[in-house]
Amino acid sequence: MKKISLAKTPTPLQFYNYFESNNIYIKRDDLTDLALGGNKVRKLEYFLADAMKKKADCIVTYGSPQSNHCRLTAAAASKQGLKTVLILSKSGISHFNGNYFLFDLFDVDIVWVETDNVPKKIEETLSSLKNKGYKPYFIQGGGHGNLGTHAYKVAFDEIIEQQNEKSIEFDYIFHASGTGTTQAGLVAGKTIRKSEIKIVGISVARNSNRGKEVIYESLKEYFNEFGYSVDTSENQIIFDDSYIGNEYAHIYPKIIDTIKVVAKNSGILLDPVYTGKAFHGMLSYIDLNKIKNSNILFIHTGGTPLLFNYANKFKEE
Ligand SMILES: Cc1ncc(COP(=O)(O)O)c(C=O)c1O
């Protein structure tokens, strides 16, 4: 599968700390180099290669006004000399900093949409661009789709190589799960290799049924398109929705405390919407499930600009 080079890989794998007799490591996918990094960079390597192959001159994608995916799509497209159009949902989220500020640096065009009108607005935007003579290439929100899944199948292979080099055997991989594409890729990698590593997605928004269903569909589509005939079942997917709080981007005190502790211990910055929530979820999951004497890998999926969006939450606590 062709990709363009945007990420600096392999990303570092660092020992973080001991927790209840477990060794916790962090894989630094926040250091994927492009525009403050994150998991989307790996996915964009494949999407942009596909767009270039199809001779697209304009990338269109969708997200919230504080979307990491939109920031990184704009950065990647701009680097390739392509125009970017971001379709942004009018949400209640305050957005005049963090990622929204960074969109401007990449000269994006913004199209606003009500959240209940997204598919129609995407269609209209694509046809309007075509009418103006552009050749647009659409990437689903969050970099969802088989190419995104493939990027994290390859990341799983990278983790296996790193654990072999360092003579560690991971028992668990934890990460923040949103559209479920990252998780689908990791589970695809695990399934293909018949690995015993348990992959635990900590949901940032979706309930467990919906999350699992989407990941399972992504897995089946991926195996189908990439020609793998492997057994897969929805039961092998661990998608824990216990740490969402009330909704997406609900930031509660335990998340803030976790971010502070991790920053103090390691100098590593987590964000409150994704990685801070997931790290808190991971520690609680370890505790609740009485996991002991295990090697545990947390994938830091990025999201650093979101930390600045929520500076006021840290002052209030
Ligand atoms: C920082 C960060 N972590 C995790 C995720 C979740 O990734 P996925 O959508 O592949 O589940 C996202 C998605 O927006 C993200 O921005």
Confidence of residue 64 (pLDDT cuts 50, 70, 90): very high
User: What's the whole-number mean pLDDT along residues 63-82?
Assistant: 97
Give 299-315 pLDDT, tens digit per residue: 999 999 999 999 989 98
Give the pLDDT confidence score for residue 270 in this predicted structure. Answer: 98
For ligand 1, atom 16: residue with the closest CA: 68
Please report the pLDDT score of residue 231 as a whole number: 81
Contact 180, 215 (CB under 8 A): yes
Count of C-beta atoms within a 10 Å radius of residue 316: 8
253 prior amide bond cis, ω within 30: no
Report the distance separating Cα 127 and Cα 314, nearest Å.
44
Residues 6+ apart with CB under 8 A from 267: none
List Cα–Cα distances, 240 to 145, 212, 284, in angstroms: 21, 9, 11
* 237: number of Cβ within 10 Å: 23
Q: Which fold has domain 13-38+145-316?
A: Rossmann fold (3.40.50)
Which of the residues are catalytic? Answer: 67
Q: Where are the domains of the chain?
A: 13-38+145-316, 41-143
Digit-coded pLDDT (tens) for 94-135: 667 789 999 999 999 999 999 999 999 999 999 999 999 999
Q: Which of 270, 277, 288 is nearest to 38 (CA)?
A: 270
- Residues 98, 63 contacting (CB under 8 angstroms): no
Quote the pLDDT of residue 91: 78
Pocket of ligand 1 (CB under 6 A): 38-39, 68-69, 142, 176-183, 274-275, 301-303
Share of the chain above pLDDT 70, in %: 98
Q: For residue 68, which of 34, 92, 114, 26 has the smallest C-alpha distance?
A: 34
For 27, phi then psi, to 5°, come to -95, 125
Q: How confident is the model at residue 316 (pLDDT cuts 50, 70, 90)?
A: low
The architecture that CATH gives domain 41-143 is 3-Layer(aba) Sandwich (3.40)
Q: Please report the DSSP string for 39-59 in residue order.
A: HHHHHHHHHHHHHHHTT--EE
- The single-letter DSSP state of residue 247 is S
Q: Which atom of ligand 1 is nearest to the CA of 179?
A: 9
Backbone angles phi, psi at 259, to 5 degrees: -60, -40
Q: Let me know if the fold of 13-38+145-316 is the same as that of 41-143.
A: yes
The mean per-residue pLDDT over the stretch 12-34 comes to 97
Q: What is the pLDDT of residue 94?
A: 66
Closest among 19, 16, 30 to 285, alpha carbons compared: 19
No. of helices (H) and no. of strands (E), the chain: 11, 10
Q: Are strands 198-203 and 238-240 parallel, antiparallel or unpaired?
A: parallel
pTM for this predicted structure: 0.97
For residue 21, pLDDT beyond 70: yes
Over the chain, what is the mean pLDDT?
A: 96
Confidence (pLDDT) at 95? 67
Residue whose pair of structure tokens reads 């088989």 in the numeric block: 146
Please answer whether residues 38 and 30 qualify as being in contact, where contact means their C-beta atoms are separated by less than 8 angstroms.
Answer: yes
Residue % of the chain over a pLDDT of 90: 92
Q: Supply the residue whose CA is at minimum distance from atom 14 of ligand 1.
A: 142
Query: What is the Å distance from ligand 1's center to 202 Cα?
Result: 11
* Candidate of 140, 144, 182, 243 to mutate for ligand 1, largest count of ligand atoms within 8 Å of Cβ: 182
Residue from 61, 68, 153, 271 whose mutation best tests the ligand 1 pocket (most atoms within 8 A of CB): 68
